């Protein structure tokens, strides 16, 4: 039975090599919905996303597992499963898996706030005072009497939460207290604040209650008032009437709101654990196909630009335009978001100071944000791997961090892991431009993104071909190009589109395959995502169709560029065809 248990759980993680990842957003209103076991969505339109389960189970180790061959992933997972099985009886119960997932989640919360805490901790004492928080979050000008009313209101709310999170009442927050401050829904000590803020955020008429309308939020599409009521609205209405509104007066008081907060805070962990068990069994019987291969996809965006049904998600645009700062804007008022947006446009994007943003200026800015994501990721890696603290990564530091105990010299030279390590070492040496045996920040970016550096592009091309070329003949067939898609009588639109692109654009000699030179255009397209995003933003903003964006045009369409506290992401998913962009 132990072997079966390990096989079933292993199936979940090994499937990361072949499962399709889908993204989406459930429109249900959720108090403090930023609490999640994963940055991925669990399902969209009823389709399960295994990436959610992988991140929930593995936490920060997920990316490492995604790069492993299946046999190595199984080997490592076997060790993890033994840790999950706390009573060592050879079985993983729901309780044991729930505890494991909860521990992974809490660790992710701590890791998530560390960078934020460090950036705000001006005196680097490991604690965050109220003054440090306000200066870093709002700016020193908001601390005086000149602050606008909206800022004063936000400061008052934050101060109340800050004082509650400050458990030892020393006037400063250590890392654990800062987690409670940032995520009050995760801490029993913050339960009252969680409930109070949930009511304040939802109670639009400020009568101290949450009506059914306030509970459901503004789900109606203003452009389609005759649209049928979504299924989730019917479900939530029934839940409001039967589970939450205990006295059946049509509204929720503070005590009734407590039930919502508790159920919605706990649900991701308990249901997530149960789903991991159930889905591991499903995967052992049938594995879904993967979507088309995309060479050197950045994967920096937390949201897809378009969903399966072509609904447009502006959060992708926010990330493309703001880079790593996108999340910060989601916590600002609309007025403050527009104020900061104006500064970005006037002082940073409009480089020739003619009052207009050209296509070139916008493309340069968006490309800069794309690079910022790369450097942010590399900075995190260096902080984790740089054991001697010199700001650079030696091959030994990288190998130890990446492979650890699995880098066993007793393995045969032709073992998959040994081959992978040799390839990585060769790539390391090429990226080490100054040949000092270490990678600095810039060299590490080249190592992680060889397609960005002309001196590394042959390696980038090798990597893509090796990843896609399943029969190792050095060529890419249509089937390999499409990934593990299984032929159907009526193939989905993406298959038709990609297959046509293969034949018309990449297969120059029409032999039904891509050789190395033909694959070059696929791996290194002349126009990248920054170019496409630039045209998309201009198309959605250029009111007078002159090819330039004025400050007024950008501010008129401000929520296409940046988010705010008022952004209802459920309503920003608009159905837009690719051909309209």
442, pLDDT greater than 90: yes
Q: What pTM, to 2 d.p., does this model score?
A: 0.47
Closest CA to 305 of 535, 36, 17: 535
- The fold of 85-187 is Recoverin; domain 1 (1.10.238)
Element (H, E) at 97: helix 94-120
Reported as a pLDDT band with limits 50, 70 and 90, residue 266 is very low
C-beta of residue 22 within 8 angstroms of C-beta of residue 308: yes
- Both tokens assigned to 222: 């203003």
569, pLDDT greater than 50: no
The alpha carbon torsion through 249, 254, 257, 259 (nearest 10 deg) reads -110
Q: What is the pLDDT of residue 514?
A: 93
Reported as a pLDDT band with limits 50, 70 and 90, residue 261 is low
More confidently predicted of 557 and 76:
557
Q: What is the pLDDT of residue 106?
A: 72
- Both tokens assigned to 160: 């109340």
Helices 149-165 and 130-137: crossing angle in degrees, nearest 10, is: 140
5, pLDDT greater than 60: no
Q: What is the pLDDT of residue 342?
A: 92
Backbone angles phi, psi at 547, to 5 degrees: 85, 0
d(CA 128, CA 178): 8
Reported as a pLDDT band with limits 50, 70 and 90, residue 513 is very high
* Cβ neighbours of 120 (radius 10 Å): 17
* Cβ neighbours of 351 (radius 10 Å): 13
Tokens 């700001």 map to which residue?
Answer: 391
75, pLDDT greater than 60: yes
Residue 431 makes CB contacts below 8 A (sequence gap 6+) with 439, 443, 444, 446, 447, 450, 456
DSSP letter for each residue of 217-286? -S-S-TT-TTPPPPHHHHHHHHHIIIII-TT-SSEE-HHHHHHHHHHHHHHHHHHHHHHHHHHHHHHHH-
Over residues 304-346, the pLDDT tens digits come to: 666 545 566 777 788 888 877 887 887 788 888 899 999 999 9
If you average pLDDT over residues 216-245, what whole number do you get? 74
Q: What percent of the chain has pLDDT over 70?
A: 67
Cα distances (angstroms) measured from residue 69 to each of 64, 396, 467, 473: 11, 21, 11, 19
CATH number of 189-267: 1.10.238
Reported as a pLDDT band with limits 50, 70 and 90, residue 62 is low
More confidently predicted of 201 and 57:
201
- Find the radius of gyration of the CA atoms of the chain: 26
182, pLDDT greater than 70: yes
Over residues 354-374, the pLDDT tens digits come to: 999 999 999 999 888 888 888
Reported as a pLDDT band with limits 50, 70 and 90, residue 512 is very high
If you average pLDDT over residues 218-240, what whole number do you get? 71
In words, the CATH class of domain 328-367+528-575 is: mainly alpha
C-beta of residue 93 within 8 angstroms of C-beta of residue 81: no
Reported as a pLDDT band with limits 50, 70 and 90, residue 101 is confident
Q: What is the pLDDT of residue 306?
A: 61
Domain ranges of the chain: 85-187, 189-267, 302-327, 328-367+528-575, 369-523
Over residues 469-494, the pLDDT tens digits come to: 888 899 999 988 887 565 667 777 77
Q: Do domains 85-187 and 328-367+528-575 have the same CATH topology?
A: yes
Question: Interior CA angle at 81 toward 268 and 9, to 5°?
Answer: 70
506, pLDDT greater than 70: yes
6, pLDDT greater than 80: no
Over residues 385-437, the pLDDT tens digits come to: 999 999 999 999 998 888 765 555 555 665 667 788 888 999 999 999 999 99
d(CA 168, CA 177): 9
Q: What is the pLDDT of residue 58?
A: 66
d(CA 499, CA 489): 15
């Amino acid at each position: 039975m132990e072997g079966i248990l390990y096989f079933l759980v292993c199936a979940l993680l090994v499937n990361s090599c072949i499962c399709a990842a889908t993204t989406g957003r459930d429109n249900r209103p959720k108090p403090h919905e930023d609490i999640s076991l994963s940055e991925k969505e669990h399902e969209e339109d009823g389709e399960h996303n295994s990436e959610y389960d992988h991140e929930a189970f593995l936490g920060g180790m997920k990316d490492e597992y995604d790069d492993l061959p299946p046999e190595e992933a199984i080997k490592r997972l076997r060790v993890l499963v033994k840790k999950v099985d706390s009573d060592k009886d050879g079985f993983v119960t729901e309780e044991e898996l729930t505890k494991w997932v909860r521990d992974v989640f809490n660790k992710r919360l701590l890791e998530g706030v560390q960078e934020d805490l460090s950036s705000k901790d001006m005196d680097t004492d490991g604690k965050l005072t109220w003054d440090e928080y306000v200066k870093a979050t709002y700016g020193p000008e908001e601390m005086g009497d000149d602050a606008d009313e909206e800022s004063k209101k936000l400061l008052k709310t934050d101060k109340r939460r800050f004082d509650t999170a400050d458990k030892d009442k020393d006037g400063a927050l250590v890392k654990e207290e800062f987690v409670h401050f940032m995520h009050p829904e995760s801490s029993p000590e913050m339960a009252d604040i969680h409930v109070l803020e949930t009511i304040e955020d939802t109670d639009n008429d400020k009568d101290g209650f949450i009506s059914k309308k306030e509970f459901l939020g503004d789900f109606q599409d203003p452009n389609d008032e005759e649209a049928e009521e979504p299924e989730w609205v019917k479900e939530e209405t029934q839940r409001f009437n039967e589970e939450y509104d205990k006295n059946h007066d049509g509204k929720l008081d503070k005590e009734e709101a407590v039930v919502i907060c508790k159920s919605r805070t706990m649900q991701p962990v308990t249901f997530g654990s149960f789903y991991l068990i159930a889905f591991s069994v499903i995967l052992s019987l049938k594995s879904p196909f993967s979507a088309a291969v995309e060479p050197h996809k950045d994967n920096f965006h937390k949201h897809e630009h378009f969903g399966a049904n072509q609904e447009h998600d502006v959060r992708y645009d926010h990330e493309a335009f703001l880079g790593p700062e996108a999340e910060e804007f989601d916590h600002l008022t609309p007025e403050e978001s527009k104020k900061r947006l104006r500064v970005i446009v006037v002082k940073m994007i409009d480089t020739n100071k003619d009052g207009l943003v050209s296509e070139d200026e916008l493309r340069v800015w968006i490309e800069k944000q794309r690079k910022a994501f790369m450097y942010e990721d590399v900075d995190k890696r260096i902080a984790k791997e740089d054991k001697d603290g010199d700001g650079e990564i030696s091959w030994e530091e990288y190998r130890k961090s990446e492979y650890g105990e699995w880098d066993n010299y007793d393995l045969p030279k032709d073992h998959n892991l040994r081959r992978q390590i040799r390839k990585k070492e060769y790539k390391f040496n090429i990226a080490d431009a100054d040949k000092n045996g270490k990678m600095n920040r810039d060299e590490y970016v080249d190592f992680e993104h060889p397609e960005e550096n002309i001196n590394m592009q042959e390696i980038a091309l090798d990597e893509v071909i090796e990843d896609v070329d399943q029969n190792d003949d050095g060529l890419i067939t249509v089937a390999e190009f499409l990934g593990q898609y299984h032929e159907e009588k009526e193939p989905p639109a993406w298959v038709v589109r990609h297959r046509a692109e293969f034949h018309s654009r990449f297969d120059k000699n029409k032999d039904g395959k891509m050789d190395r030179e033909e694959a070059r255009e696929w791996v290194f397209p002349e126009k990248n995502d920054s170019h496409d995003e630039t045209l998309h933003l201009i198309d959605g903003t250029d009111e007078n169709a002159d090819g330039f964006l004025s400050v007024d045009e950008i501010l008129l369409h401000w929520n296409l560029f940046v988010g705010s506290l008022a952004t209802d992401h459920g309503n920003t998913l608009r159905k837009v065809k690719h051909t309209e962009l």
